[in-house]
């Protein structure tokens, strides 16, 4: 039985992976490091800001000290809000899916994005009050594919009424990246791959328990069909 739902953010709810890619490239270019879209997609997508900048600098043979990376993260954050104020794109039925699922289960967000970015977007979507917990880049020392973020989300959800005994295996995750699927499965959770960034085959190969082409079919009845009936059969 599913008892809680956890969403990744960028690439699942907010259609801004291309924005993050462009801003990573822009800030890195200021440090003399080139990154093209293909390399970002193949290696860095799914990393939080710190891991992306640290890894890209080291890969280019550059110094990657904390002060420098902190400054790069801050520059990217300023630019992100400049772009966001001009209008963010949200995937079709992103807000509706959260509202539908929140009627049945507590909702958490686990993202490598910064908390102000997540809060800004949730408010723009009109669903901030539907999200019980947020785990952001500031909360973790190890990003995806490490399971740390999802384990922190589990701890946060256990603070909700009636969920003190919540188990990882009863949490359902929605992820668009391969690193995210690996992270969720590493935490012992069920993972649905949303094929808005990677192909269905790639997500399945990363270990996704189910695949959605997009969020259009997603509501509580979809979750029941895909996970409730199977688990009930397993009880017999």
8-64 pLDDT, tens digit per residue, is 999 999 998 888 899 999 999 999 999 999 999 888 887 889 999 999 999 999 989
DSSP, collapsed to helix, strand or coil, labels residue 202 as helix
Residue 236 has what pLDDT? 27
Q: What is the residue range of 109's domain?
A: 4-15+90-234
Position 18 scores a pLDDT of 85
pLDDT at 185: 98
The CATH number given to whatever domain includes residue 226 is: 3.40.50.1000
Judge if 109 and 161 occupy the same domain.
yes
Indicate whether 107 and 208 sit together in one domain: yes
Q: What is the pLDDT of residue 230?
A: 41
User: Is-contact 130 98, C-beta < 8 A?
Assistant: yes
Same domain, 224 and 128: yes
pTM recorded for the entire structure: 0.83
pLDDT at position 84 is 84
d(CA 195, CA 187) in angstroms, rounded, equals 21
Query: Do 72 and 156 belong to one domain?
Result: no
Contact status, residue 98 vs residue 131, Cβ threshold 8 Å: yes
Do 71 and 99 reside in the same domain of the chain? no
Q: Which residues of the chain have pLDDT under 50?
A: 229-236
| Pairing relationship of beta strands 190-194 and 107-110 according to DSSP bridges | unpaired
Domain count, the chain: 2
Q: What are phi and psi of 181, to 5 degrees?
A: -60, -45
Regarding whether 112 and 77 lie in a shared domain, the answer is: no
- pLDDT computed for residue 234 by the predictor: 34
Please report the pLDDT score of residue 48 as a whole number.
87
């Amino acid at each position: 039985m599913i008892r809680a739902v956890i969403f990744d953010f960028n690439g699942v709810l907010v259609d801004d992976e291309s924005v993050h890619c462009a801003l990573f490239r822009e800030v890195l270019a200021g440090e003399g490091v080139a990154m093209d879209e293909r390399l970002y997609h193949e290696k860095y997508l799914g990393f939080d800001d710190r891991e992306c900048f640290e890894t890209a600098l080291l890969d280019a043979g550059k110094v990657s000290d904390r002060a420098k990376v902190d400054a790069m993260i801050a520059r990217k954050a300023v630019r992100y809000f400049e772009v966001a104020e001009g209008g963010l794109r949200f995937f079709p039925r992103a807000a509706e899916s959260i509202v539908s699922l929140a009627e049945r289960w507590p909702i958490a967000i686990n993202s490598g994005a910064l908390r102000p970015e997540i809060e800004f977007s949730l408010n723009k979507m009109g669903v901030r009050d539907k999200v019980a917990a947020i785990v952001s880049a500031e909360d973790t020392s190890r990003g995806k594919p490490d399971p740390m973020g999802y384990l922190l989300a589990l701890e946060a959800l256990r603070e909700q009424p009636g969920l003190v005994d919540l188990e990882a295996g009863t949490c359902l995750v929605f992820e668009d990246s391969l690193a995210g699927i690996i992270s969720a499965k590493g935490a012992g959770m069920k993972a649905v791959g949303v094929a808005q960034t990677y192909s269905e085959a790639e997500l399945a190969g990363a270990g996704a328990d189910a695949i959605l082409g997009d969020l259009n079919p997603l509501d509580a009845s979809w979750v029941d069909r895909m996970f409730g009936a199977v688990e009930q059969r397993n009880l017999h």
